[in-house]
Amino acid sequence: MRFGVVVFPGTWSDGDCYHVLKNLLNQDVEYLWHREQNLASYDCVILPGGFSYGDYLRAGAIARYSPVMTAVERFATKGGLVIGICNGFQVLCEAGLLPGVLMRNVSLQFRCQWTYLKVENSNTAFTGNCDTGQVIHIPISHGEGNYHADENTLRELENKGRVLFRYCSPLGQVTSESNPNGSSKNVAGIVNREGNVLGMMPHPERCCENILGGTDGLYIFQSVIKSLVGD
């Protein structure tokens, strides 16, 4: 399997994603500079976290127009797997590959902390190694992770099983107290209609080794590998 990790000016979680895939999971992975326009040789493309173009204007609003995003759109349309993490999620929303918008945290504070996520749908390429209802422990690091969409969109996301992760308590209870940013319905991660594009605010690449405090991030990456090899 071949992974590509997109690098925009201002991206800074690219190295973490590369490390997990290359050194922990022994996958073929390459960095993709934001000017890249051909993704045909890749199986999965990752848009990592950071502050692309300094997040000027709005988080992800400039990166959305980078040449690589035209290629990402073509790649996704053909069924390629795409993961947007944190700033990558914001870029995907700005590009129209995912619905909704990521706004300022309701606290108006940057939040860097561990969160608990309830897996709402395990029947996807990104959650196949999880169980529905399982609680995983993944950190966040963002100032604009407050997910919002109109009521019809939220209803569709709920009804079609497109909400993959929701902020919750350690026991899996979805409460306002467990919501770190004010996201509608505690949404932490969603997929597109076709199920091949994931956007999530928490950082799975930061919790794939015990020395970092946990390994639950491996569930996402191993699920993708499993879906690609058809096992």
**For residue 36, what are the CA distances in angstroms to 8, 73, 76, 102, 197?**
11, 13, 15, 26, 19
Distance in angstroms (rounded) separating the CA atoms of residues 12 and 171 = 32
The domain spans of the chain are 2-229
Burial class (CB in 10 A: 0-12, 13-18, 19+), 217: buried
Distance in angstroms (rounded) separating the CA atoms of residues 178 and 69 = 33
pLDDT of residue 231: 54
Burial class (CB in 10 A: 0-12, 13-18, 19+), 159: exposed
pLDDT of residue 51: 92
CB 21 within 8 A of CB 27: yes
pLDDT of residue 133: 97
Most distant CA pair in the chain: distance in Å? 44
pLDDT of residue 56: 80
In order along its 231 residues, the chain shows pLDDT tens digits of 899 999 999 999 999 999 999 999 999 999 999 998 899 999 999 999 999 988 888 888 899 999 999 999 999 999 999 999 999 999 999 999 999 999 999 999 999 999 999 999 999 999 999 999 999 999 999 999 999 999 999 999 999 999 999 999 999 999 999 999 999 999 999 999 999 999 999 999 999 999 999 999 999 999 999 999 975
Where in the sequence numbering do the catalytic residues fall?
86, 203, 205
Query: Which CATH number describes the domain made up of 2-229?
Result: 3.40.50.880
pLDDT of residue 58: 86
